[in-house]
Amino acid sequence: MGPGARRSRPQGRPSPMSRNNRIALMLLAPSALFLVIFFAWPMVQAILLAVRDDDGFTLSYLNRMVDDRNFGPALRNTAAIIILVIPLQFILALIMALVVSAKLRGSQTLLYIFAVPIAVSDLAAGIVWFSIFNESGFLNTFLANVGAVAAGERVFWLSSASEWRLLGTVVVAEVWRATSIVFVILLAGLQSIPEDYDEAAQVFGASFWDRLWRVKLPLLRPSIQVALILRTILAFQIFAVVIALTGGATRVLSLEAFTWYRRLQNEHVAAAYAALILVISMVVAWIYLRTIRTQERQQ
């Protein structure tokens, strides 16, 4: 309950407000109820499934998850993808946002093109990049055409022999697919900065980099934070890109959850993975909300 709501409630005239309360409640209740049943409760249930069996509380499912030989690689790969993808996305998205907000002729067209991947599913993105990275794919063709590799020779980008190369292909596909949303959020942030600020800095002779570092980026902080949490939490759920590109050779957390559920038919261990993704995401969200609150207090 924020201070705004309290201030706007007229004192000594309770009747219209309580009528509003009733109408609003009627309009909100169905959606709230739905989200409790299909959003909040399954979150709780994921944790219960992970730590409970027929006899009550148990750590056996969590132990099975942690002791599984794929657990370490899955955790490491997911973390590596996030650490590699997110900085790349933010740099690229910032460049894209700066290009569009330069308001040159054709900016509108660029804006639409930059936003296209928002509609692309992770599965489609994985298949698209599979057509490029597979050993008889477009990348090897291109490398042969420009003479970077000898004729007839191929680089096995998707071979599971080279884990890091494989991870690299996933990173490229993720950057391609999911930078657009960061771009849109950053562009919205950039456009909400009054133009006077930038003009004033220009009048005083600030260079492009000075204006970027000292004027734009500090004012973009809220947008950056929103985009950061959104992307981080989505990145923990990376799934179909990995299957389409690596056939599952690169283990990631959500792929493990799927494998335990589908192939090994153990919903408890699958739920343990789900709970792990939930807990990590909550920690990230908590850090994020804390930063926001500190920022609000500063203002």
- Per CB under 8 A, does 291 bind other proteins? no
Between CA 174 and CA 125 the distance in angstroms is 8
Among the listed ranges 67-75, 82-90, 160-168, 181-189, the one in contact with other proteins (CB under 8 A) is 181-189
- # chain residues binding other proteins, by CB under 8 A: 109
Q: Which of 104, 150, 161, 203 binds other proteins (CB under 8 A)?
A: 104
- Per CB under 8 A, does 271 bind other proteins? yes
Q: Which of 99, 155, 219, 224 binds other proteins (CB under 8 A)?
A: 99
Between CA 229 and CA 82 the distance in angstroms is 12
- Per CB under 8 A, does 288 bind other proteins? yes
Q: Which of 243, 250, 251, 252 binds other proteins (CB under 8 A)?
A: 243
Token pair belonging to 18 = 């309580």
Q: Can you say whether the dihedral through the CA atoms of 219, 226, 78, 57 is positive or negative? A: positive
Return the number of the residue (34 or 213) whose C-beta is nearest other proteins: 34
User: Residue 9 carries which DSSP code?
Assistant: S
Using CB under 8 A, which residues numbered 154 to 173 contact other proteins?
A: 154
Between CA 293 and CA 174 the distance in angstroms is 30
Token pair belonging to 113 = 């093109």
- Per CB under 8 A, does 91 bind other proteins? no
Token pair belonging to 274 = 């789900």
**Bridge-partner residues for 52, per DSSP?**
57
User: Residue 117 carries which DSSP code?
Assistant: G
Using CB under 8 A, which residues numbered 128 to 147 contact other proteins?
A: 128-132, 134-138, 140-141, 144-145
Among the listed ranges 53-61, 69-77, 212-220, 254-262, the one in contact with other proteins (CB under 8 A) is 254-262
> Residue 236 in contact with residue 78, Cβ under 8 Å?
yes
Q: Which of 214, 247, 290, 295 binds other proteins (CB under 8 A)?
A: 247
